[in-house]
Amino acid sequence: MTRRPNTVWTLVVTSLAAFMVSLDNLVVTTALPQIRADLGAGLEGLEWTVNAYTLPFAVLLLTGAALGDRLGRRQVFLGGLVVFTLGSAGSALAPSIGVLIAARAVQGVGAAFVLPLTMTLIAAAVPPERRGMALGIWGAMTGLAVAVGPLIGGAVTEGASWQWIFWVNVPVGLIAVPIGLRALAESRVVSARLDLVGAGLVSAGLFGVTFGLVRGEGHGWTSGSVLAALGLGALGVAAFVAWEQRVARRGGAPMLPMSLFRNRGFTAVSLTALLFSVGMFGSIFLLAQSLQNVYGYSPLEAGVRTLPWTAMPLLIAPLAGPVSDRIGGRPLLIAGLALNATGLAWMATVLSTHMSYAALVGPFVISGIGMALFFVPIATVALGVVPGRWQGIASGANNALRELGGVLGIAVLSSVFAGRGGYDTPASFIDGTKPAVWLGAISLVMALLAALAIPRRSGLAAEAAQPVAEVPAGMPDTHEPARTPVAAAGQLNTSPVG
């Protein structure tokens, strides 16, 4: 007998899990100076403390969704939650930077199995007429996690120690797993195929590129190890593209169908998401540290002083949601990117060792409003630019590219930081941070240009109606009942792109 999902508890468990795994993207940023001091880490070690989480998170998101199809969504979701909880405990117990990086990678693997299935489990449990509200709660929780990550990290680090930013995940996992066992219903697609070769190629390729970027400044861009990593990484990515095309030609189920990129709207949204994360998260990585390393604030004081930035999404998102429903997501997306680029450029202009905190309040507020206007419509925009049968893959790819953008942003902006400055003195930290944040602002301008290519509301129907490719094996036609996360997620689009 199939268990009926408990709607309320499904929403509680999935939203809590989404909050927890999203929080760990940025919760560590205000703890980095303490981790550096306690474990003797350099810039490269601090980069990997963040990237070791986000890299497997990004490259395994689509694999996590596919495993849920094949093995059971409830089972894979709860298994991912267990892995994430164990990785959190390992991070808290880490005696060295190497162990911490390895434990963070375990966290990232678990998160990749948790996040994509939260939406699918909500879709199965919540009636269609209430899915918009449920997805709004889910989106608010993930946005809140990203927004308050630096504040929570600072408060926990100062109130206890940096280890407790990981320990707090453990009781949450221990509570959520047994509730999930009782509340969540199991579902699977027996015919779903796993593109393990594709997952392996893209993981190896992206790891090689990231490894080369992180090591480039410290070991020399012409050193053999860096050139080998970048070259092998590029080959891995190219092999992934070729493999996905081969799988599609043979009628298989590619992890990411390359034919999707023939859709102008999908390509524009994907590029927008990638470039936004490059600029925003790469800048946050450095700016969060500058409040402590340059201006002498404690972790909690630094977290509180980011509130004009991080609290803005909490205030603006409830107002932006109804506006997005009325006018579409595209105008909000464009406005948000313009405000983000302006905020970062303003920060880069005023940063100096003798600057008062008041000089940052204005750009923090501008950037916070911009983040809210970006996060509110991005999921709907990603779903709305492709036909219904492809919306699940489009959503998963968009989430993966946003995570990947954070990895690349931290690696690239940190390389600029290391090339122009360093941790030696407050002056050298500012010398490195200013050009890095300027590069972040440029990345957001490029994201804005990409967003302008997203179809307007008048052209959206024609764009989404364009044939993409044959439907992969195991994916239903749009006239069949929703049986896969692709179809289920496709039904969650409740507002036009605009």
- 62-94 pLDDT per residue, tens: 788 778 877 888 999 999 999 999 999 999 999
pLDDT in tens, 173-190: 999 999 988 888 887 765
Overall domain count for the chain: 3
Q: Is residue 131 part of a domain?
A: yes
Asked whether residue 186 is assigned to any structural domain, the reply reads: no
Quick one: 15 and 131 in the same domain? yes
Q: Are 172 and 214 in the same domain?
A: no
User: How does residue 136 score in pLDDT terms, banded at 50, 70 and 90?
Assistant: low
Tokens found for residue 468: 């993409």
Q: What is the pLDDT of residue 415?
A: 86
Least confident of 189-198, 227-236, 392-401, 409-418: 189-198
φ/ψ of residue 369, rounded to 5: -60, -40
**Residue 187 counted as domain residue:** no
If you average pLDDT over residues 130-137, what whole number do you get? 68
Q: Are residues 229 and 274 in the same domain?
A: no
Same domain, 295 and 226: no
Instruction: Clarify whether residues 442 and 294 are in a common domain.
Output: yes
* pLDDT for 495 beyond 70: no
Decide if 191 is inside a domain: no
Kindly give, in sequence order, each residue whose CB lies less than 8 Å from that of residue 439, ignoring residues fewer than 6 positions away. 279, 282, 412, 413, 416
Least confident of 133-137, 221-225, 326-330, 365-369: 133-137
Question: Considering 148, 181, 214, which residue would you say is the last residue of a domain?
Answer: 181
Note whether 206 and 338 are same-domain residues: no
pLDDT at position 482: 36
Please report whether residue 404 resides in a domain. Answer: yes
pLDDT confidence of residue 491: 33
Same domain, 238 and 335: no
CATH code of the domain containing 173: 1.20.1250.20
Q: What's residue 165's pLDDT?
A: 92
234-239 mean pLDDT: 93
Chain segment 301-311, per-residue pLDDT in tens: 888 888 888 77
What is the sign of the dihedral through the CA atoms of 241, 247, 253 and 258? Answer: positive
109 lies in the same domain as 226: no
Same domain, yes or no: 316 and 381:
yes
Token reading at 173: 């996992």
Q: Is residue 241 part of a domain?
A: yes
Helices (H), 328-421: 329-350, 358-384, 391-420
Any domain includes 189: no
Do 309 and 231 share a structural domain? no
Q: Are residues 365 and 439 in the same domain?
A: yes
Maximum average pLDDT range among 20-24, 158-162, 331-335: 331-335
Confidence of residue 477 (pLDDT cuts 50, 70, 90): very low
pLDDT digits (tens, 9 = 90+) for 250-262: 877 787 788 888 8
Separation CA 22–CA 354 (nearest Å): 34
Do 230 and 313 share a domain, yes or no? no
Domain that holds residue 416: 257-498
- Domain endpoint, select from 181, 212, 242: 181
Q: What is the pTM of this model?
A: 0.78
Cα torsion 280, 330, 123, 118 to 10°: value is 0
Average pLDDT over residues 216-229: 81
Percentage of residues in the chain with pLDDT exceeding 70? 86
Judge contact between 432 and 419, C-beta under 8 A. yes
| Alpha helical stretches, state H, 220-263 | 224-249
Q: Is residue 130 part of a domain?
A: yes
